């Protein structure tokens, strides 16, 4: 049983961890424990009941409540803030009842005056050492209730006053920088106000006491299952306890809950490990692959994408010529990016009109697809469903479908306006127009792109709250995407938002993979990939060899892309025969190791920013087979070579490692300093790929 009640304590247990909560002496639902699973229920502590601290700090301010509401003399970051119709602006949720329904613990809290029911939901995910949390708020009162903040969870990692926060930040073309910083009293806020989860921060965190490392140490980590505006507050209180709250952003948020209505928050997940940041990532990777991904078992193909080769100059002949070259390399999927649909001759026209352009495909798109299929490749297409160019039939017919303020200029982003996916008409149009393309052609792959952020976030509603847009848009997005998936189960989806503008768990429920950055320069990319894999598995990480950073050695460009889902995006009509031959070689090698990269365990052996080197390894789940990729990324480094320690091998099994003498036990290999030359002169970056093979 993953949820047990014992002496007033509710204990959620996973394979290795436990999380406990209960009512404290003041009747507040309080956090009691989060860490290693303990042998006996009596081992867990009672929820704390701190006293007041002078006249300025009531007990509620000091109590690690599971879901603090704004009320009382309480000034920590609350999870919920409401406004009642009579002008009262607080909520006092007090314990009503607890239920365990299947594997979900429901803690029901009720306000004594206003008929509002707050239910906190908890589920343990034993195999991943994760706790899942969300909240629902029901209004049974006679008047509407305005929600002004409604987070998913507040977490209380027991790091005391030594909290260190790891998070990811960046910007377009430069996403996913991993930062670790000490937290001091006060609130550190990470958020997105851009309607997408954003290039700038990802809804993920890891907390430790400043002493965890990649493969050891206590780490508390978590993420949010949401693809829109989000907010994380990491607070070290005046009393040196650390709390992390996460959920929908309350920036410009408001939601009116009419009588009888219920609001459900996005779900938050968090876990605990003693295995360092690596184990934290691997637990999320397994969780995403097994519980979130729509098609986890699919072996992803080697893609060729013609964008860099032809940009908007797409036509039958140019694509067929590229397809023949791509097939000769061993590509298994040919994808036409932007530029295939009606009137799309530059980025300024056509968006929204999702029909193949008859001028570009005079024999029909299906004819080209048949020819591509005959070359042994599947076919895929690009869409940008959420945008519309003013120069399009769709906009001329429905100028009111875009997000705008009537009195303001409609600002363009990349020459486009933003369709309001909260509108059912817009959802229906997108479902029908994209469906008709997917139904009429043999399309096995689709890229859902999204290339601008919001401006003038208006919504001309007759009734209700326009600021619900931030949430209702995301509901609409999920609805359109899920409907397309249901109708066209043969299609594999990629999500892209100018690269990494929408990297979040919600996206991995609807898409099979993510284009993590428009920056595909192989040396830059190692850091971006390292950031991405903190959260998500390599099986979802598209990585292409393109025409960026061509001064990086050719093999290095392949090795970097082979760390994820290898694709080619370069203009291969310009590759030399020697390059084509080398590409053929690496594509074929990749096919022999991709099961490790997609389904195996990832070990970051050397961080991308350390001493000019970077290395990752992937091991099969049965530990029989593995592969190491090592890179020298810094020119003019002092260290002559890279020294690595391996992790994760079976200690008793015997292995060979390509490039090293001897057959040794896993224990031996993991205790040796392995030297990876990677010399190659000061001017050259270097890389190598080595197989790990069990011999008995």
In angstroms, give the least distance from the CB of 18 to ligand GLA: 43
- 567 Cβ contact partners less than 8 Å away, ≥ 6 residues apart: 302, 303, 304, 305, 542, 543, 544, 545, 561
- CB-nearer residue toward ligand GLA: 21 or 309: 309
Residues in the chain: 696
Stretch that binds ligand GLA, among 150-158, 293-301, 492-500, 681-689 (CB under 6 A): 492-500
- Angle ∠(636,641,647) on CA atoms, nearest 5: 130
In angstroms, give the least distance from the CB of 337 to ligand GLA: 5
In angstroms, give the least distance from the CB of 416 to ligand GLA: 10
In angstroms, give the least distance from the CB of 70 to ligand GLA: 41
- CB-nearer residue toward ligand GLA: 498 or 527: 498
Biggest alpha carbon distance in the chain? 82
Residue with tokens 């792959």: 445
- CB-nearer residue toward ligand GLA: 2 or 392: 392
Interface map 451-490 toward ligand GLA (x if CB under 6 A): x---------------------------------------
If one asks whether residue 338 binds ligand GLA (CB under 6 A), the answer comes out as yes
- CB-nearer residue toward ligand GLA: 567 or 612: 567
- Of 499, 567, 612, 666, the one binding ligand GLA by CB under 6 A: 499
- CB-nearer residue toward ligand GLA: 11 or 496: 496
Sign of CA dihedral 351, 356, 361, 366: positive
- CB-nearer residue toward ligand GLA: 336 or 535: 336
Q: Is residue 418 within 8 Å of 387, Cβ to Cβ? A: yes
The long-range contacts involving 16-23, CB below 8 angstroms and separated by at least 24 positions, are 16/129, 16/273, 16/274, 17/129, 17/271, 17/272, 17/273, 18/44, 19/122, 19/124, 19/131, 19/272, 20/44, 20/45, 21/47, 21/66, 21/107, 21/122, 22/46, 22/47, 23/47, 23/95
- Of 77, 214, 337, 601, the one binding ligand GLA by CB under 6 A: 337
Distance CA 105, CA 44 (A): 18
- CB-nearer residue toward ligand GLA: 498 or 612: 498
Stretch that binds ligand GLA, among 2-10, 61-69, 118-126, 496-504 (CB under 6 A): 496-504
Distance CA 569, CA 559 (A): 15
Distance CA 545, CA 85 (A): 58
Size of the site for ligand GLA (CB under 6 A): 10
Annotated active-site residue 96? The verdict is: no
Closest to 167 measured CA to CA, from 531, 414, 476:
531
Distance CA 64, CA 80 (A): 15
Stretch that binds ligand GLA, among 5-13, 265-273, 372-380, 493-501 (CB under 6 A): 493-501
Show the 3-state SS of 580-623.
HHHHHHHHHHHHHHHHHHHHCEEEEEEEEEECCEEEEEEECCCC
- CB-nearer residue toward ligand GLA: 141 or 498: 498
Applying the rule CB under 6 A, the residues between 367 and 396 that interact with ligand GLA are 382
In angstroms, give the least distance from the CB of 492 to ligand GLA: 16
Alpha-carbon separation of residue 28 from 22, 60, 241, 360 (angstroms): 8, 8, 17, 66
Closest to 590 measured CA to CA, from 567, 562, 569:
562
Stretch that binds ligand GLA, among 3-11, 61-69, 495-503, 620-628 (CB under 6 A): 495-503
Annotated active-site residue 313? The verdict is: no
Distance CA 370, CA 380 (A): 12
Q: Is residue 686 within 8 Å of 679, Cβ to Cβ? A: yes
The long-range contacts involving 87-96, CB below 8 angstroms and separated by at least 24 positions, are 88/114, 91/116, 91/118, 93/29, 93/67, 93/69, 93/118, 94/27, 95/23, 95/27, 95/29
If one asks whether residue 307 binds ligand GLA (CB under 6 A), the answer comes out as yes
In angstroms, give the least distance from the CB of 619 to ligand GLA: 32
Applying the rule CB under 6 A, the residues between 546 and 605 that interact with ligand GLA are none
Q: Retrieve residue 455's tokens.
A: 């401006």
- CB-nearer residue toward ligand GLA: 132 or 338: 338
- Of 29, 135, 496, 513, the one binding ligand GLA by CB under 6 A: 496
In angstroms, give the least distance from the CB of 335 to ligand GLA: 10
The long-range contacts involving 616-622, CB below 8 angstroms and separated by at least 24 positions, are 616/530, 616/533, 616/563, 617/646, 617/647, 617/648, 617/692, 618/538, 618/593, 619/648, 619/649, 619/692, 620/595, 620/596
Ranked by CB distance to ligand GLA, the top (closest) residue is 338
Q: Retrieve residue 662's tokens.
A: 């001897």
- CB-nearer residue toward ligand GLA: 227 or 265: 227
Interface map 250-289 toward ligand GLA (x if CB under 6 A): ----------------------------------------
Distance CA 451, CA 355 (A): 20
- Angle ∠(274,152,485) on CA atoms, nearest 5: 95
- CB-nearer residue toward ligand GLA: 65 or 386: 386
- Of 449, 468, 512, 601, the one binding ligand GLA by CB under 6 A: 449
In angstroms, give the least distance from the CB of 68 to ligand GLA: 41
Radius of gyration in angstroms for the set of CA atoms belonging to the chain, rounded to a whole number: 26
In angstroms, give the least distance from the CB of 198 to ligand GLA: 15
- CB-nearer residue toward ligand GLA: 64 or 339: 339
Distance CA 399, CA 565 (A): 39
- 432 Cβ contact partners less than 8 Å away, ≥ 6 residues apart: none
- CB-nearer residue toward ligand GLA: 129 or 337: 337
In angstroms, give the least distance from the CB of 74 to ligand GLA: 45
Distance CA 282, CA 537 (A): 8
In angstroms, give the least distance from the CB of 600 to ligand GLA: 28
Q: Retrieve residue 453's tokens.
A: 């952020």
DSSP letter string, 482-528: HHHHHH-TT-EEEE-BTTBS--SHHHHHH-SEEE--S---HHHHHHH
In angstroms, give the least distance from the CB of 592 to ligand GLA: 28
- Of 111, 218, 250, 518, the one binding ligand GLA by CB under 6 A: 518
Residue tagged active-site, from 111, 208, 338, 518: 518
Residue tagged active-site, from 250, 353, 449, 504: 449
Stretch that binds ligand GLA, among 235-243, 355-363, 494-502, 612-620 (CB under 6 A): 494-502
In angstroms, give the least distance from the CB of 499 to ligand GLA: 6
Residues that bind ligand GLA (CB under 6 A): 307, 337-338, 382, 449, 451, 496, 498-499, 518
Known catalytic residues are: 449, 518
């Amino acid at each position: 049983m993953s949820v047990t009640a014992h002496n007033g304590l509710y204990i959620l247990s996973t394979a290795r961890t436990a999380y406990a909560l209960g009512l404290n002496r003041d009747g507040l639902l309080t956090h009691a424990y989060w860490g290693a699973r303990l042998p006996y229920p009596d081992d867990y502590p009672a929820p704390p009941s701190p006293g007041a601290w002078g006249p300025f700090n009531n007990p509620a301010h000091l109590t690690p409540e599971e879901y603090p509401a704004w009320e009382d003399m309480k000034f920590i970051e609350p999870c919920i803030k409401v406004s009642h119709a009579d002008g009262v602006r607080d909520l006092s949720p007090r314990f009503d009842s607890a239920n365990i329904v299947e594997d979900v613990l429901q803690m029901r809290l009720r306000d004594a005056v206003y008929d509002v029911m707050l239910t906190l939901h908890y589920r343990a995910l034993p195999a991943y050492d994760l706790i899942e949390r969300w909240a629902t708020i029901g209004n049974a009162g006679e008047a509407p209730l305005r929600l002004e903040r409604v987070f998913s969870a507040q977490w209380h990692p027991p790091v005391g006053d030594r909290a260190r926060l790891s998070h990811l930040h960046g910007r377009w073309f430069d996403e996913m920088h991993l930062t670790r910083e000490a937290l001091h009293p006060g609130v550190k806020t990470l958020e997105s106000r851009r309607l997408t989860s954003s290039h700038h921060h990802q809804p993920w965190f890891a907390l430790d006491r400043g002493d965890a490392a990649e493969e050891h140490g206590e780490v508390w980590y978590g993420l949010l299952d949401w693809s829109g505006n989000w907010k994380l507050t990491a607070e070290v209180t005046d009393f040196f306890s650390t709390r992390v709250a996460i959920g929908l952003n309350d920036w410009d948020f408001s939601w009116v809950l009419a009588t009888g209505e219920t609001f459900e928050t996005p779900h938050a997940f968090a876990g605990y490990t003693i295995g360092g940041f690596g184990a934290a990532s691997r637990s999320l990777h397994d969780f995403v692959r097994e519980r979130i991904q729509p098609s986890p078992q699919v072996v992803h193909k080697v893609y060729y994408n013609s964008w860099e080769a032809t940009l908007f100059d797409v036509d039958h002949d140019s694509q067929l010529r590229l397809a023949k070259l791509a097939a000769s390399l061993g590509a298994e999927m040919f994808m036409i990016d932007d530029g295939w649909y009606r009137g799309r001759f530059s980025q300024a026209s056509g968006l929204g009109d999702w029909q193949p352009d008859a001028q570009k495909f005079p024999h029909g798109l299906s004819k080209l697809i048949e020819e591509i299929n005959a070359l042994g490749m599947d076919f895929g297409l690009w869409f940008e469903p959420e945008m519309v160019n003013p120069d399009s039939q769709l906009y001329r017919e429905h100028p009111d479908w875009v997000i705008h303020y009537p009195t303001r200029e409609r600002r363009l982003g990349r020459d486009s306006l933003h369709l309001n996916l909260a509108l059912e008409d817009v959802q229906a149009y997108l479902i029908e127009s994209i469906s008709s393309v997917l139904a009429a052609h043999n399309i096995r792959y689709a890229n859902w792109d999204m290339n601008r952020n919001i401006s003038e976030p208006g919504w001309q509603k007759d009734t209700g709250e326009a600021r619900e847009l931030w949430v209702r848009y995301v509901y609409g997005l999920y609805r359109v995407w899920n409907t397309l998936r249901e109708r066209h189960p043969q299609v594999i989806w990629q999500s892209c938002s100018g690269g990494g503008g929408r990297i979040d768990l919600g996206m991995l429920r609807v898409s099979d993979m993510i284009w993590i950055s428009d920056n595909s320069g192989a040396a830059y990319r190692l850091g971006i990939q390292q950031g991405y894999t903190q959260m998500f598995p390599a099986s979802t990480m598209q990585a292409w060899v393109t025409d960026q950073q061509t001064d990086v050695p050719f093999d290095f460009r392949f090795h970097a892309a082979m760390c994820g889902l290898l694709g080619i995006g370069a203009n291969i009509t310009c590759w030399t025969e020697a390059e084509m031959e080398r590409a053929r070689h690496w594509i074929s090698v990749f096919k022999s190791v991709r099961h490790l990269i997609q389904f195996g365990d990832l070990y970051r052996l050397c961080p991308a920013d350390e001493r000019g080197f970077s290395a990752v390894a992937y091991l099969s789940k049965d530990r029989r087979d593995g592969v190491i990729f090592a890179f020298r990324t810094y020119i003019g480094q002092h260290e002559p070579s890279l020294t690595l320690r391996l992790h994760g091998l079976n200690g008793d099994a015997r292995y060979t490692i390509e490039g090293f003498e001897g057959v040794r036990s896993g224990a031996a290999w993991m205790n040796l300093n392995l030297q990876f030359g990677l010399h190659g002169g000061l001017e050259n970056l270097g890389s190598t790929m080595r197989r790990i093979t069990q011999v008995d």
